[in-house]
Every structure is written in structure tokens, then in C-alpha cells.
Amino acid sequence: MENVNPAKQNYPRGYLLIIIAVLFWGGSASLAKIFFSGNFDTLVLTQTRVTFSLVIMAFYFLLKERAVFRIQKKDILLFVMTGVLGLAVTNYSYYYTVKYSTVATAILIQYTAPVIVMVYMVLVSKEEGWNRIKIFALLLSLIGCYCAVSGDGFATFQLQGWTMISGIASALGFALLIVMTKHFSKSYSAKTTLIYLLFFASLFWLFISTPSEIIAKDFSLITWGKFFFFAIISLLIPNFCFTASAKHLDASTAGIVSTLEPVIAVIVAFFALGETLTTIQMLGGVFVVAAVLLLEIKKQ
């Protein structure tokens, strides 16, 4: 196993890392629209972004730092579970909900994850305690997230058929990813954690869509280049930052701060795609930022 010295929590560093992550996550939706104009298979996009990210990390660390690949046998099943359910299934179920329901519904459902995380960390694992400021920050961030995606009116849940399952799966999977990332941070570096999550997520996708099936789609070199660049921007950089932040932040805090993502997505879409930015959405952004500031004040 890689030798990791337990570092003292550095809250500003943790907040900075996760904010960088949500900046990239939030901007990736607009980037996807610019790059692909809707003419792409979401399954292929989901699979290639994971696989390309893995290839980049694996190639680099095989040459520079092979100790990154050392893990204990007892943790293999946990990495498999988190890579498949927390990364692969979460991404696909989210995009499935977007495709067959609405973007607002998909985001609102997925970002109930911080509630699941807080309940688990307090009542089940008992690794965290109740705190009035944190609970208030959680509620404020959820209201802000709701307002940020509601647009001109008030967003409503539009779940029917399989989207009821996919929506819930995306929230549970994201919560699992947050909790297990914190768990792995106690024994492994962010590099080790992410590379194994990517490996098992990529392995899972090979059973769903084989390389020959993807090659048969006959994408141009330009499209492959876009897939490669998109993998770096939408997954490799933000997920590494998110994973690294786990050493410095509680799992529930990370979940609350991650609700900045839909706010960033709305702002980027306004500037990059010319989409509307309403008063309700701006108010939502203020609420989420206020929630994050409350968490930082609590640490002072």
C-alpha cells in the first residue's frame, strides 16, 4: 500500500480544491454542447471520458510513480463498488435522467446527495456530529440549488418510468462517491484513489460497450480529439481536485460545497451559450455561496 502520512486538515485548501472541481464540472455541460452540438451518444461520451482519463493517469504514473498502484487486498472490493456505482453508474444514471426527463429534474434529484451523506455520517457511521450551522447551510444550499435550476418559474420533479430509478440511482451513487472518497483519503493519496476508481469504472464499461462497438461508429480524428480534451476538462481535473479535497473536508461539508456546481453551470451557460439568467437563478447562486461561507465561518 502507498505510504500516506496523515496531514492536518487544511480547510481553505479543501474549499479551494472542491471549488476548482465544481468550476470544471459546471462548465463541462456547456462545453459538451459547444463541442458536440447534441450529435453524440451520451453512453460513448460517458465511457470515453472515464477511459481516456484512466489512460492519461496510468501512463504517467507507470513512468513516474509506480507506488501509486499499491493498495491493500482488503480494499479492492470497496474500490470496485465505488468505481462502478459511485462513478460509472452515477454518471450514466444522471445523463439518462437528463435525456428522458429534464435537466432541472436530474440536477435536483442528484443534489439531494448531501442530505444522504449527512444522515449517513451522523446516524450510521457516527463519524460526524449534528451542527446547527451545518444543517442550516445544507438547507440553504439545497434551496439555492433548486432556485438555480428553476429558471423563470419553479422547477418541478418530472419522473416517470425508468427515470424514477435512474434519478434515485444518481443521488445514491453521488452520495456513495462522497462518503467513500473520504474513507479512502485516510489510507491513500488522491492519485491512488482516483486511478483505481477510473480503472474499475472503465472495466465496467467494457462489459457494456466493447471497444469494437465504439470503433464501429467511425468517429473522425477531430471527434476523438474532442473526446480526449473533454475527458481532461470534465473528469480528470475536477475529479482529482474533488478527491484531493477529501483529506481536508468532512464528507457532509464536501457535499454541501458541491452544490455550487449547478450555479456555475447556469452562469457558464449564460456567458458561453447565451442562455437566460433570471433573478430567481441569481438568488439561488447567492444562497449557495452564502451556505459555503457559513461553513467557512464555522471553521474560524
Number of domains in the chain: 1
Tell me what the mean pLDDT of segment 261-278 comes to.
82
Our separate counts of H helices and E strands in the chain read: 15, 0
Tell me what the mean pLDDT of segment 112-136 comes to.
87
Full domain range(s) for residue 98 = 22-299
13 located within any domain: no
Integer distance in angstroms from the first to the last C-alpha of the chain? 35
Residue 57: predicted pLDDT: 96
2 located within any domain: no
Residue 39: predicted pLDDT: 61
197 located within any domain: yes
Amino acid at 175: A
16 located within any domain: no
Of 53-67, 196-210, 254-268, 274-288, the least confident: 274-288
Q: What DSSP designation does 129 have?
A: -
179 located within any domain: yes
Task: Tell me how crowded residue 276 is: count the other CB atoms within 10 A of its CB.
Answer: 10
Euclidean distance between CA atoms 244 and 185, whole angstroms: 8
15 located within any domain: no
4 located within any domain: no
| Contacts of residue 2, Cβ cutoff 8 Å, sequence gap at least 6 | 67, 68, 70, 71, 188, 189, 192
17 located within any domain: no
Predicted model pTM? 0.87
Q: Could you tell me if 61 and 299 are in contact, meaning their C-beta atoms sit under 8 angstroms apart?
A: no
pLDDT reading at 156 higher than 60: no
